[in-house]
Every structure is written in structure tokens, then in C-alpha cells.
Amino acid sequence: MTHDLIILSASLLVIIIAAEIFTNAIESLGAKLKFSEGVTGSIFAAVGTALPETMVPLVAIFAGNSAHVSEEVGVGAILGAPFMLSTIAMFLMGAASFVFKKRRRKASITPEHTGLKRDLEFFLFAFSIAFFVAFTPPTWRLLRIFIAVILVLSYFYYVMETIKASNALSKDGHATKESKNLYISAIFKDHMFFVVVQLIISLGLIIAGAKGFVSGIEHLAEILHIPVIALSLLIVPIATELPEKINSILWIRQGKDTMAVGNVTGAMVFQGSLLPAIGIFLTPWTINLTVMSSSVITLIAGIWLYILTVKKLKITMPMLIANGVLYLLFVLIVLLTYSRLQ
């Protein structure tokens, strides 16, 4: 137990340090390429920090485990990641905006509106069809493959639309700006090559930290006798979503709301489209009551965020408490479900 707690603490420290190095490099990359904050947050940062949780379902599916374990961990991790982002990650950003309101000189979160609306629209579309296709018979293979292809194409269309909007947004004052010099430039020149080097180093540290964190949690789960599906839906996503949460909190602290929110909503689009497509291709893609509950709650949380965006309301911590409550609701559902099975 003590050994596992040490691994957890060390892995968390590695993730926090790596997240700081990553945000520094990603800001420099966006500034040098003259992209808007939306592109930097929703695409570069989102895809980069989504790598740890992307690896979990892929490893679960390909690792040679039993079919039952592979399917439960794979499907659970795929659908669990957007759930974590739309609930607890959004709540933590709201809490961060409140904690740092004096430094930020505002209590509300004010991301660029059109980009946030686009992220949520693509996410709700992709995640909805990925969820509902699980209710079709496995024999409807052609339909499922068609949906998987649509999910892949929708993500690439989303990337194109986000990049297309970049030039206009940059001219309107939403260009990516470096808050600090590139860390590695203290040793080497501030050159694009070294920006990429720092990104690779930070991503390597993020993946290593996430892997150590997941490993430590899995050992604790065995000691506590936590079921596989509960592990994949509640514990693994918390560990693998840490980079997004920490990156976004760092950007909220700096007042860079567009990159902070885009980091989360962009990852939601990525994980709500490409990862389900992989799951549909490689697993029977069936869901149980627990996974269905998490998916419904994810859609409710996404719709709530979309309503706030469409109505152009100021996003404040009290509004995002609803997302935290939805997360706690699911934890309660999981605990009640598995307590009855004991």
C-alpha cells in the first residue's frame, strides 16, 4: 500500500511538471505558427494531452487480455474520458477561476465564443451517434462501419473548420501569445526545432507519469476489490485526464480562457469521435447499464454547456457546479450498482 502511494505521488508530480513544460511549448508553437488560441488549445494542446487516455483503451484492446476485460476496459475508457472532461474537468476550471479571480481580475470564464460553440456542436453530434450505435445489433456490421467512418471524417472536418477560422480570430485579438520564453531556450536558441524537442520531452513525461499513476491505482483497486468496469469508468480516466485538467488550470490562472476551455472541449471532440470509431471497429461495442449511465450524463453535461454558450451567458463557478454534481451522481450510481452485486 505504501509503495503504491509513493508511486501515485511521484507520478502526479511528474504529470504536473510535464504539464507546465507542455503548456510553455504549446504556447510557443502556436505563436510561431501564428495560429489563434482556439487552434492552439482545441487541436494542439487537446490532442497532445489526450495521448495518455488514448493509449489506455488501445492497450486494453490489443494487450492480449481476456475478451471480457479488453471490451470492458476499452469501451469504458473510451466513453469514460469525455464523461470526465464534461463533468469534473469543467467543474475544476470553474473552481480555478474562483480561486484565481484576484489575479485574473474577473470571476467568470470568457473563452472565444464561436470556437467553444463549434467544439460543443461537433462533440454532441459525434458522441451521440457513437453512443446510439451501441444499441444496434452487432450483425448490422455495415451500418456500424459507416458510422465509424463518419466519426473519423467528422473529426478531420472539425480540424479544417477550426484552422480556417484561425486567421480571422488572430486579427481580432485571439492570436496565441507566449506568456514565458521557451524553457529550453535557457540552454538552446529559441527555435522551432527546440520547440518540438520540448514538446516531445513533455509528452514523454506526461505518458510516463500517467502510466505510473494508472499502474499505482490499478494495484490499489485490486486491494480494494474494485470491479474492472468501475475502474475503467471512474479511476483510469481521472489519472489519464490529469494533463488536460492541469494544463487548463494553469491557463485559467494566466487568464487564457480560450486555450484553457479549448484544451478540454477540443479533447472532448477528439475522444468523442476518433476513439469511439476505433472502439466500433475493434470491439463488439455493446454497453451495460453503468456505461449507459455515464454516456447519458455526458450528453446532459454537454447540452448544459451548449445552452450556456448559445445564450452567451457568463460562465461562472456556480454554473459549473452542475457539472460537478453530475459527476457525483454517476459515482453514486456506480457505488449503488456494485454494492448490490456484492
Q: How many residues are given for the chain?
A: 342
Mean pLDDT value of segment 22-29: 79
Give me the numbers of helices (H) and strands (E) for the chain, helices first please: 17, 0
C-alpha grid cell, residue 84: 470526465
- CA 42, CA 258: separation in Å to the nearest integer? 9
Average pLDDT of the residues in 125-153: 92
pLDDT band at residue 308 using 50, 70 and 90 as cut-offs: very high
Q: What pLDDT does 64 receive?
A: 47
pLDDT, tens digit, for every residue of 169-195?
666 655 666 666 778 877 777 778 888
Q: 139 phi and psi, to 5 degrees?
A: -70, -15
pLDDT top residue among 11 and 266: 266
Q: What is the residue type of 286?
A: T
Range from 131-140, 173-182, 248-257, 282-291 carrying the lowest mean pLDDT: 173-182
Q: Chain centroid to CA 107: how far?
A: 23
- Measure the CA–CA gap between 151 and 270, rounded to whole angstroms: 10
Residue type, 225: H
Query: Which of 328, 317, 340 lies closest to 107, judged by CA?
Result: 317
Distances (CA, A) of 55 to 30, 51, 181, 342: 25, 6, 31, 31
Assess contact for 26 and 43: CB atoms under 8 A.
no
What pLDDT is stored for residue 306 in this prediction? Answer: 96
Answer with the residue of higher pLDDT: 143 or 234. Answer: 143
Pairwise CA distance, residues 155 & 275, whole Å: 11
**Cell triple for 155:** 473529426
Give kind and range of the element (H or E) at residue 124. helix 113-132
Residue 342's pLDDT band, with cuts at 50, 70 and 90, is low
Percent helix, strand and coil across the chain, each to the nearest 5: 85, 0, 15
- Cβ atoms of 35 and 166 within 8 Å: the answer is yes
> Is 100 buried (19+), middle (13-18) or exposed (0-12) by CB count in 10 A?
middle
- Picking from 64, 27, 19, 79, the residue whose alpha carbon sits closest to that of residue 208 is 19
Give the bridge partners for 315, in sequence order.
Answer: 109
Q: What is the pTM for the complete model shown?
A: 0.81
Contacts with 283 (C-beta within 8 Å, 6 or more apart), sequence order? 61, 70, 71, 74, 75
Q: Which CATH number fits domain 2-171+188-341: 1.20.1420.30, 3.30.1370.60, 3.40.50.300, 3.30.70.600?
A: 1.20.1420.30
Longest dimension (CA), the chain: 61
Residue ranges of the domains in the chain? 2-171+188-341
Residue pair 249/20 in contact (Cβ under 8 Å)? The answer is no
In this prediction, residue 242 carries a pLDDT of: 67
Using the structure block, give the residue that is written with the C-alpha cell 488514448. 54
The 10s digit of each residue's pLDDT in 32-68 is 777 777 777 778 777 776 766 666 666 656 654 445 5
pLDDT of res. 65: 47
User: What local confidence, expressed as pLDDT, does residue 226 receive?
Assistant: 62
Arithmetic mean of pLDDT over the chain: 80
